[in-house]
Amino acid sequence: MSQQLDRARPWQGYPGGNSVRIWRTQRDVVNAVMRGELTAEAGLKKAVDETNGLMSAGVISADARSARPRESGDPGQHAWTRVFCPGSPRARGMSGIDVLNRTKDTRVLIIAQISDLHVRPSGQTAYGIDTNAMFADAMRAMRALSPAPDCVLVTGDLTDCGLDAEYEIARAGLATLPMPVFVIPGNHDRREPFRRHLSSAYPYLNHDRPRLDYVDDRFPVRLIGLDSLIDRRDLRRPCAAATGMARCPAN
């Protein structure tokens, strides 16, 4: 962690005062790509261009500050000053695309994250959607990424109903990825079938602890998988282990 602080500290949000607008803009671009309104390539370019524009617009020049009339109760220049930490990408004159292109830096770790696969048995859909076809598309897209991610995080709901047939399809699809894969159950998963079908492929699940928590230290950052799944039969009452109660209530 101490080795990462110097890289993380300059990015307390995005440089300038438009972090929230940037996040919302990027969200809208991602949604447009998922709806098929933009190609992935056009979406990336749009996100980078708009992010750079908003970062520039969020920086108020000294001239603008000095020209602004002071009002009663105005706290002064500190409310208007945008400070770039020394060594930050923005302070070095780097644009968003420069940051994206720094993949040759050996200290950069690329993590891809996917979630909510909702795999179904062959021939079945989830909520009227062919989630298996979308899962297959996601695997093809992941394999085609350049540069390739160093690892892939699959953060819950690998299956829709926690069925054995669903886990077999999920395991086979994830096995097509050439990079390490880290999985964790979501609320649609069932812990025992999850462990039974996936632990042979992912040894970090092969233990006798009740929850499927794990820690992996092979990368420059520590990856922690936290299993917060509540067993469906326990949904009616809180668990003492989770709440700190001496015992669970009868009803």
Longest dimension (CA), the chain: 68
C-alpha 183/C-alpha 155 separation (Å) is 6
Q: What is the mean pLDDT of the chain?
A: 75
Pair 123, 223 in one domain = yes
Q: Which residue has the tokens 């979501």?
A: 186
With respect to residue 137, please indicate whether it lies within any of the assigned structural domains.
Answer: yes
Pick 80 or 47 by higher pLDDT: 47
With respect to residue 171, please indicate whether it lies within any of the assigned structural domains.
Answer: yes
Pair 142, 218 in one domain = yes
- Write down the pLDDT at residue 23: 83
Strand extents, DSSP E, 45-139: 111-114
pLDDT confidence bin for 233, thresholds 50/70/90? low
Query: Given its phi and psi angles, is residue 215 left (phi above 0), alpha (psi -120 to 50 degrees) or beta?
Result: beta
With respect to residue 128, please indicate whether it lies within any of the assigned structural domains.
Answer: yes
Q: Is the separation of the CB atoms in 60 and 25 below 8 Å? A: no
- For residue 114, pLDDT over 50 is answered with yes
Q: Quick one: DSSP state of residue 224? A: E
- For residue 194, pLDDT over 90 is answered with yes
Pair 91, 123 in one domain = no
- For residue 11, pLDDT over 70 is answered with no
Pair 45, 117 in one domain = no
- The CATH number covering residue 211 comes to 3.60.21.40
Q: Which domain holds residue 190?
A: 109-228
Pair 119, 220 in one domain = yes
Count how many domains the chain has. 2
